[in-house]
Structure 1
Amino acid sequence: MPIHAILFDKDGTLFDFADTWGAFGRNLVLRLADGDHARAAELGRVIGFDLETATYSEDSIVIAATVEEISDLLDRHIPDMSKEELLELLNAEAAAAPQAQAVPLIPFLEGLRQAGLKLGVATNDSEAPALQHLASVGIHEHFDFVAGYDSGHGFKPGPGQLLAFATHVGVAPENVAMVGDSLHDLQAGRAAGMTTIGVLTGIAPAEALAPMADVVLPDIGHIPGWLEKDALKTA
């Protein structure tokens, strides 16, 4: 099927996961532990984060979960903070995380738009931090649609955000590609009846993504070339 629209995950897809979220994890657990390194390391283990190396395990909840799911996991370990306070802190730290672009995003996205593609973002992050992240690198206006887990369409691996994008831009799901770095992204794409593109700028290795992906690429910068080859195959 020809691709007329592309929906991107945000973290690990538009932005390199390790370079962006290592600092977030370190700042978060140290802040929650009031600077106590031993306590911070313990909280890091709860969310699958190694404080010493500032890296995440492949099954870390931070990779694909919503901020509420992360908050639920941490809540029982932080009895002196209410759920609302914890959510507020998580969103504040997420919004402040400097974003490391997976590729130079402005020329990349401009090229896709010039090719006539509709573009969107579907993230399990909250909508407000997601918009801040896109604006921080000057790409918010390049997207026709941006949804977080709290935008009213559900969250991945459910297909709600993806189908809402397809409806919003007037493109049938079979003519949309879902691009992501995690199985949640690709499972959502399959559930929505879309082409699925895995990228390796997150934590998951190619062999983990391959069963759910129509193609696995090193990063989003390889998408235009893949689209050209795919078009030639189907011509």
Structure 2
Amino acid sequence: MIDAILFDKDGTLFDFHKSWGAWARQLLADLTVDEAHAARLAAAIGYLPEEGRFLPGSLVIAGTPSEITAAMLPELPGWSAGQLEARINEVAAKARMVEAVPLVPLFEAFRARGLKLAIVTNDAEAPARAHVAAHNLGGLVDFVAGYDSGHGAKPGPGMLNAFLRAEGLDPARVLMVGDSLHDLEAGRAAGTRRVAVLTGVAKAASLAPHADVVLENIGEIPAWIDSLSA
């Protein structure tokens, strides 16, 4: 009943707070001149340094690097948007991502089922590919797209539709898996089934009305797929 799975990256493949908290700390250390400046920049991206977590409305959760750049730029006189976005992407590519579950065995199990696999993220494509390579997923993924890959950003369906077209897939037999409303809205627009996971910031109550199912993490997907034909 399922031929392929599209995964969001941050908060879905990787635990959001653990992974992007490290990115935020490094970025603030690179950019700020004193504690007051750091506090203002942290507030601009909805990050709570003392707690190591992001606010539910943080741009970092589902926004693009361009949107994060626009939020931070007023606090960084002397930086151009292009320079700042490049630095954001550079730090992101080097950030240590913490897997939500062990990814290689899970992706190998999906491959054994004959499933096509894709990663569609509002991160830039270069950091996304760096994270894919760092976690040994390169040979297990058929398609990787970021907001800057030419298909648009989520919640638009462009990245999803590009994968569906490339593989000749029926969207009704494809899963879109993500941790945010942007992911689920993109799946709805593309006509896929929608699976929400709780390894990001959003809570089950906000995701459930927009998803076919809410799971704790992506490790529960195989059993859920099996339940569809039970």
**TM-score normalised by the shorter chain: which range applies?**
over 0.9
Residues 115-149 of structure 1, C-alpha deviations (whole Å, 9 max, x = no match): 01100000000000000001001112211110000
**Counterpart contact for 2:151–2:159, Cα < 8 Å:** yes
- Counterpart of 2:66 in structure 1 is 68
CA RMSD of aligned residues (A): 0.8
4+ runs of 1 displaced by more than 6 Å? none
**Counterpart contact for 1:144–1:169, Cα < 8 Å:** no
- Counterpart of 1:24 in structure 2 is 23
Contiguous gaps of at least 5 residues in structure 1:
none
Q: So what's the TM-score if we normalise by structure 1?
A: 0.96
1:114-133 to structure 2, matched below 5 A, reads 114-133=112-131
Whole-Å separation in 1 of the counterparts to 2:229 and 2:184: 21
- Counterpart of 2:192 in structure 1 is 194
1:48-197 to structure 2, matched below 5 A, reads 48-197=46-195
Residues 23-69 of structure 1, C-alpha deviations (whole Å, 9 max, x = no match): 111111222113x2221111101110011112100010000001011
Residues 90-110 of structure 1, C-alpha deviations (whole Å, 9 max, x = no match): 001111110101111000000
Q: So what's the TM-score if we normalise by structure 2?
A: 0.98
**Counterpart contact for 1:145–1:168, Cα < 8 Å:** no
- Counterpart of 2:225 in structure 1 is 227
1:217 maps to which of 215, 218, 227: 215
Whole-Å separation in 2 of the counterparts to 1:147 and 1:161: 6
**Counterpart contact for 1:200–1:219, Cα < 8 Å:** yes
Whole-Å separation in 2 of the counterparts to 1:44 and 1:218: 28
Amino acid across the alignment from 1:229: S
Contiguous gaps of at least 5 residues in structure 2:
none
**Identity of aligned pairs, percent?**
51
**Counterpart contact for 2:7–2:177, Cα < 8 Å:** yes
Residues 145-172 of structure 1, C-alpha deviations (whole Å, 9 max, x = no match): 1000011111100001011111112211
Amino acid across the alignment from 2:5: I
Whole-Å separation in 2 of the counterparts to 1:90 and 1:154: 19
| Count of aligned positions | 230
Whole-Å separation in 2 of the counterparts to 1:85 and 1:178: 33
